[in-house]
């Protein structure tokens, strides 16, 4: 399976959004979220790091093309 720019974007956006949400929950010091502060900060950091790390993966080379493509592939061959 090859990597491409679209797939990287599909991975990046949700991981950054979820990572940001977990980091925001981890910085909240009041209420019931304070008990899980370290868990939220850890998950947020992992998600943000994974999303950014996915951007560093090398893209695959494009598929080779035919050097002499047929200009009219639907035409009937001459007898």
- Where are the domains positioned within the chain? 5-56
Token digits of residue 69? 């493509």
- pLDDT for 42 equals 94
CA distance 27 to 40: 9
Whether pTM exceeds 0.85 = no
User: Crossing angle, helix 37-56 and helix 5-27, to 10 degrees?
Assistant: 160
Consecutive sets of 10 residues in the chain, 79 residues long: mean pLDDT of each?
74 92 86 82 94 81 62 63
């Amino acid at each position: 399976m090859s990597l491409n720019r679209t797939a990287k974007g599909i991975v990046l956006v949700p991981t950054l959004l979820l990572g940001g949400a977990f980091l925001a929950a981890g910085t909240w010091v009041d209420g019931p979220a304070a008990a899980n502060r370290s868990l939220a900060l850890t998950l947020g950091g992992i998600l943000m790091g994974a999303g950014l790390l996915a951007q560093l993966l090398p893209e695959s080379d494009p598929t080779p093309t035919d050097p002499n493509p047929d200009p009219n592939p639907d035409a009937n061959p001459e007898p």
